Amino acid sequence: MKTIIANWKMNVGVRESVALARATLLTLRGRKQIPELVICPPLVALSETRKVVAHSAVSLGAQNVFWKDAGAFTGEVSGRMLTELGVSHVIIGHSERRAHLGETDAMVNLKVLHALEVGLIPIVCVGETRDQRNGGRALEVVREQVLAAFKSARLRSNDRLYVAYEPVWAIGTGEACTVDNALETHAMIRDMLAKQFSGDQLKVLYGGSVDGENAYGFLREREVDGVLVGGASVKINQFKDVVAAASEVLEAQHD
Ligand code: PEP
């Protein structure tokens, strides 16, 4: 099964989210094989968006979570609160949060442990900056982020965990990394986590300027369990092609 995560970021309000959720649902219509599709609207739109995707094949994800159940943490939202809204997945450690909100590897780890505790599927984002890549440190940086994110994490038999390899220089730039680059990093991530988690509980996704044109090239690879899509997920014509690419790959596997 291939997975598509749609990260709507802070690009749509409540009404636009509802309309986009409806349009996203339509991208699945008439397809013989459909990918797992998770839409991640802004927090304020989760409740209304849930009404659109309830009883459909589309799941609801959040873009962030705090690591405590409750308490004096103004502005934060716990995993349990998200599950009350029908959320099943949560993006953790997105590079935009790491860069603009000071999210550290230690915070990412606390969020991962909390998400697993309450039964949410964490989608943990890791990836190097352009300077780190140019300095030959890309794999080392990703390795450190993965090690820190999953420190002390244990999965119960039904738990699942996603890691999204998202090179920071590829996010929102229109410059996706090469498929070979993604494959090399995915293999390292899978290898690192093989001892801690079983293979069928872990998905490794690629994110960074995925669009209707390049999605198929990533999705056809066995090592790529899916894609995390930002900008193109709010442009429905682009997104439709990403969904079509995933369906095409799944249909080819099915034949
Ligand atoms: C993202 O939001 O994680 C992302 C990959 O964005 P974009 O697809 O716009 O590069």
**pLDDT tens per residue across span 11-58:** 999 999 999 999 999 999 999 999 999 999 999 999 999 999 999 999
Angle between helices 14-26 and 46-53 (to 10 degrees): 20
Residues assigned a catalytic role: 94, 166
Phi/psi of residue 206, nearest 5 degrees? -110, 140
Q: Spell out which residues line ligand 1, taking CB within 6 angstroms.
A: 7, 9, 94, 166, 171-172, 207-210, 228-232
**pLDDT tens per residue across span 68-121:** 999 999 999 999 999 999 999 999 999 999 999 999 999 999 999 999 999 999
Mean pLDDT, the chain, as a whole number? 96
**How many angstroms separate the CA atoms of 231 and 114, rounded?**
28
What Å distances lie between residue 32 and 28, 56, 238, 247, 250, CA to CA?
9, 15, 20, 8, 9
* 8 A C-beta contact, residue 227 and residue 207: yes
**pLDDT tens per residue across span 7-17:** 999 999 999 99
Beta strands in 118-199 (DSSP E): 121-126, 161-165
Nearest atom within ligand 1 for CA of residue 9 = 2
The domain limits of the chain are: 3-25+35-66+75-233
Q: How would residue 193 be classed by pLDDT, with cut points 50, 70 and 90?
A: very high
What is the distance of C-alpha 17 from the center of its chain?
18
For the domain covering 3-25+35-66+75-233, report its CATH number.
Answer: 3.20.20.70
Cα(89) to ligand 1 centroid in Å equals 17
Q: Which residues face 123 on adjacent strands?
A: 91, 162
Which residue owns the Cα nearest ligand 1 atom 7? 230
Nearest atom within ligand 1 for CA of residue 170 = 10
Nearest atom within ligand 1 for CA of residue 94 = 3
Mean pLDDT, residues 177-190: 97
Cα(45) to ligand 1 centroid in Å equals 19
Residue recorded with tokens 């990533």 = 218
